[in-house]
């Protein structure tokens, strides 16, 4: 495949996965979602979770189907039952959401989270209705986060993460493992535990379908695209290497392909300082700087 035919050469910036090498942009959708989850938890903790606040966030089949609190299908994914519950969910949201945002863009990630929340909560409502336990309520971002986890695993199946900082696990294996555990949990009686397994499965299904069907709500905008000026736009510059400097010759295409392949398989953290420098120089050359 020619360099100019690769997706990262035609969609937005030349290297959409290398945002961590540059100064971070203004607050991202992932950061805003993390902040919203933390803010709801802090306010609820200070207020002691009064009944009105509980009714606004906790999602149950009775609340949605009998009392008409349909908004809880979304708001339940911003509230948490305890500090550990919050920390685990926002950590996973931050870990997977940031890189997915470089692929899909901020608005798309916010939409995926919102739709994942609704589908996850709907799964909980359906499951508890079938189990004749419609009074059981759920809170927590786990369903929406599960959607992002599966979507991330679909894009980077061989990327390794370390469980508890010790055990290396490929993303595809982690996603499959979580889905199997949730399937097993969903088949148990409702009294088996406090985990909303059906909500997790709903979020996982949305994440998989988003990848498999290549769904987009904001398909027309490339992530983090740069505008030429207010009210005006200009065509992107064609790729032209800069005049080679004696101390830093231009990065050839074979070298660039090797580095990008390494990033795709092992992650940006696997690059050495010299490799990072080569990628940054190639990025500047492609942008015509």
Overall average pLDDT of the 192-221 stretch? 86
Give the model confidence (pLDDT) of 162-190 as tens digits. 877 788 899 999 999 999 999 998 887 65
Across the chain, what does the average pLDDT equal? 81
C-alpha 150 chain-centroid distance: 9
Phi-psi region of 240 (alpha: psi -120 to 50; beta: other; left: phi over 0): beta
Span 109-152, pLDDT tens digits: 999 999 999 999 999 999 999 989 899 999 999 999 999 999 99
Higher pLDDT, 242 or 51: 51
pLDDT of residue 229: 37
pLDDT at 260: 80
**The residue count for the chain:** 289
Indicate the pLDDT class of residue 232, thresholds 50, 70 and 90.
Answer: very low
> What average pLDDT does the segment 258-267 reach?
75
3-state helix, strand, coil in the chain (%, to 5): 60, 5, 35
Asked whether the predicted pLDDT for residue 7 surpasses 90, the reply is no
Residue pair 60/120 in contact (Cβ under 8 Å)? The answer is no
**pLDDT for residue 221:** 52
Task: Determine the pLDDT at residue 24.
Answer: 47
Angle between helices 273-286 and 253-266 (to 10 degrees): 120
Residue in the structure block whose two tokens are 């660039």: 256
Q: For residues 67 and 136, give the distance between their C-alpha atoms in angstroms, rounded to a whole number.
A: 14
Ordered by where they begin, the domains of the chain are 27-212 (1.20.1540.10), 240-289 (no CATH)
Confidence class for position 248, pLDDT limits 50, 70, 90: low
The tokens for 102 are 């470089």
pLDDT in tens, 33-91: 999 999 999 999 999 888 889 899 999 999 999 999 999 999 999 999 899 999 999 99
Q: What per-residue confidence (pLDDT) applies to 44?
A: 93
Q: What is the DSSP string of 174-194?
A: HHHHHHHHHHHHHTS-GGG-S
Q: Is the model more confident about 261 or about 213?
A: 213
Record the pTM.
0.68
């Amino acid at each position: 495949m020619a360099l100019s035919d690769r997706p990262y050469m035609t969609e937005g910036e030349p290297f959409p996965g290398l945002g961590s090498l540059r100064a971070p942009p203004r607050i991202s959708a992932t950061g805003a979602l993390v902040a919203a989850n933390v803010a709801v938890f802090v306010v609820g903790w200070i207020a002691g979770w009064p009944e009105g606040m509980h009714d606004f966030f906790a999602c149950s089949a009775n609340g949605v189907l009998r009392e008409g609190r349909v908004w809880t299908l979304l708001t339940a994914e911003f509230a948490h039952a305890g500090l550990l519950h919050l920390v685990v969910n926002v950590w996973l949201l931050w870990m997977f959401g940031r890189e997915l945002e470089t692929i899909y863009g901020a608005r798309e990630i916010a939409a995926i989270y919102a739709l994942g929340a609704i589908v996850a909560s709907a799964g909980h409502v359906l499951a508890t209705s079938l189990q004749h336990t419609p009074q059981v309520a759920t809170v927590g971002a786990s369903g929406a986060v599960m959607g992002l986890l599966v979507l991330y695993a679909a894009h980077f199946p061989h990327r390794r993460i370390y469980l508890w900082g010790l055990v290396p696990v490929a993303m595809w294996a982690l996603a499959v493992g979580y889905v199997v555990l949730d399937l097993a949990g969903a088949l148990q009686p409702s009294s088996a535990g406090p985990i909303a397994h059906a909500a997790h499965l709903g979020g996982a299904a949305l994440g998989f379908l988003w990848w498999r069907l290549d769904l987009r709500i904001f398909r027309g905008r490339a992530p983090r695209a740069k505008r030429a000026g207010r009210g005006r736009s200009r065509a992107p510059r064609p790729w032209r290497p800069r005049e080679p400097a004696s101390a830093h010759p231009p990065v050839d295409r074979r070298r660039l392909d090797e580095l990008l392949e390494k990033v795709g398989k092992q992650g940006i953290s696997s690059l050495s300082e010299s490799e990072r420098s080569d990628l940054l120089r190639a990025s500047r050359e492609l942008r015509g700087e």
